[in-house]
Structure 1
Amino acid sequence: MHRIVLVVVTPVMSFDVSIPYMVFGGVEVDGAPGYTVLSCTAEPGVVPTAGGPDLFIPHGLEAVRGAGTVIAVGSGGEPAHPEALRALREAADAGARIASLCTGAFALAQAGLLDGRPATTHWALADALAARHPAVEVRPDVLYVDDGQVLTSAGAAAAIDLCLHLVRLDHGAAAANAVARAAVVSPLRPGGQAQFITTPLPPERGTWLAATRAWTLAHLDRPLTLKDLAGHAGTSVRTLTRRFHAETGLSPLQWLLHRRIDRARELLETTDLPMNEIAWKSGLGSADSLRKHLVGRVGLTPSAYRAGFRRTDG
C-alpha cells in the first residue's frame, strides 16, 4: 500500500489538508485501500488554520521516513519551519515522490527542491515565488506541473486535479475517474490547462447599449462588424466604441470575441456537434479558428475541453 504523508506548514487552510484525504482515501485496488494518508508537522498538536477550524495533527516529522509520496501543504508564502524543510530534503534524497498543493510550493522552494525546475502555485502568489526564488521556473498560468519526482499545483481545485493525476499515474484512469465521480469533479483537467484567471469579463456598468449587446448575442453566427453594431445602436462607430468600453471595460470586438468563445464552450459542453459546426454557430469561422481561440483562452483544445467538461444526464 502506497504511503502518503502530508507535511503541514503554517499558515495553512484546512480545505487544502482535506483534499488528499478525500482523493486518496477514495481509491480502492482489488477491493483494498490503495493508499494510507497521514499528516505531520514540525510542532504536533493543535494547528491554527486560515479561514477555517483548527486542526489537530498528532504526528511529528519523523512520520515522513519511508513515505512513498510526501506532500507539502500550506505556508501562505511565509518561511517554513527549518525542520520541515530538512524533512522534505531528506525525503527527496531517499527517493520519495515530492509534491505541493497551492502555496506549499514555497516550502519546496525554500528547501531547494524546485531549483532549476518548472513549478506553479496559486496565481496570486506566482510573482512572489518567482521574485524570492529566481532559480525556479515559475509557470503562473497552469493548473499543475509534473516534473517527474517533483510535482506542484495551483490553488484549491487545482490541488484536486494534481491528486487525481497522481492516482492516474499509480493506478490508472479508471481508478482516478471513480474517485472523481465520487467527489463530483471533472476526471481530467490536464496540468497545462489555464488557471482561468483571465476568463471572467469585467462587470458591465451601463445599459445604454444593453439592447445592442442582447441583439449581438442572438446573432453570434453572423460575421458582425463595428458598422453592424453601430447601426443597431443607431449611433456612430466612434460613439459605439467609446460607450461600449465605458459599459463593459472592453472594445466592441474584444467583447464580441469573448462572447463567441463562451458560446463555443457552451456548445462543446452540451452538444455532440462537429467542430466546424460549433465554429460556425459561434461565429468563429472554422475549426482551426475555434482551436486557436480556445487554446488561447483556456489552454485546452476543443476536443480536450469537451472530454473534460461535456455535460451528461445524471
Structure 2
Amino acid sequence: MSTDFESLTTEAHRSDLSDIDRRSTLDIVRLMNAEDALVPAAVAGQLPLIAAAIDAAAARMARGGRLLYLGAGTAGRLGVLDASECPPTFNTDPGEVIGLIAGGPAAMSEAVEGAEDSRALAAADLDGLGLTPDDIVVGISASGRTPYAVGAVEHARARGALTIGLSCNAGSPLAAAAEHGIEVVVGPELIAGSTRLKAGTAQKLVLNMISTISMIRLGKTYGNLMVDVRASNEKLRARSRRIVQLATGAADAEVEAALTATDGEVKHAILTILGHVDAPTAGRLLTASHGHLRAALEQAHGA
C-alpha cells in the first residue's frame, strides 16, 4: 500500500478500536451511533460551498441542463439512488437526473474489475449521454481520488459543463478538479476503510441537499409540499389528495373534483382552487411561469 493511500483520513486505522470484535453488541451499537452523530457537523462546515454549488446547478437546470452523478462503488450507488428518487418525488423525466456508476448497472450489486480506475470510461459514459455545457456533473468519491470520478469532472469541465466534486478527504484531487469542491471530512471509519459508513452517510446527506434544493429552486414544491409528486400507486394518490388539501384547505369533494379535472396533476389542481381558474387555464399559467406555482398564482390573481 502506498504512503499516499495510508495518509487518507478515510483509510486511517483506529488502534483504539482494535478490540471491537470482542465488545458487546450494545457497546458497538452505541459506538457506531456516536460516530454517525459526527457526520452532520462535518456537513455543516461545508454548507456555504454546498449552497453555492446548488445555486449554480439550479441555474443550469432551469435552462434545460441535466444533473449527472458519477462515482464508483458505494459512491456510485448513492448517486444512482438519489437520481432514481427524483422522478417519483418531483415528477422529473428520468433523463433529467441521472446516476452513472463505474462499470454500469451490473456494478450496483457486484464489483466490476478495474472500472473505477478508468478516467477514459468516465469520459466515454458522459459522451454517451451527449454531454452539453448546460449539464451539471457531480463526481462522488470518498477518497477524492477515484480516477472514474476525477476523470468525469475533468472531462466535463473541459466541455464547459458545471462541475461539482464531493469527497471526504481534505485537499483531494477531485475537489481541485471541480469548479465547486465539497470536502466533508468525517474522520476514520469504525471499520478501517469501510467508506460506506460515515463517508457514505455524509455523501447521502449532501446529495439529498443538491437534488432537493435544486428542485425547490425549480418550482417543484409549494412551500414544503411535493406538488409535482407522480401519483403512480394508491399510496401516492392518497398523498396527492392530502397535498392539495393542505395547500388549499378545500373540502374532500372539491379536492377530488380538482384532481379529476386536472388528470391527477397536483400542482394544476391547487391552482384551479386557489386561483379560481379552470384546468386548461391552470395549464397555460403554469407553462407561462415555467412550472412555478407561486408565480402562476400571482398571474391568476392579477388576471
* Greater RCO, CA 8 A, separation 6+: 2
What TM-score bracket applies, with the shorter chain setting the length?
Answer: 0.3 to 0.5
Normalized per residue, the structure richer in helix is 2
* TM-score with structure 1 setting the length: 0.35
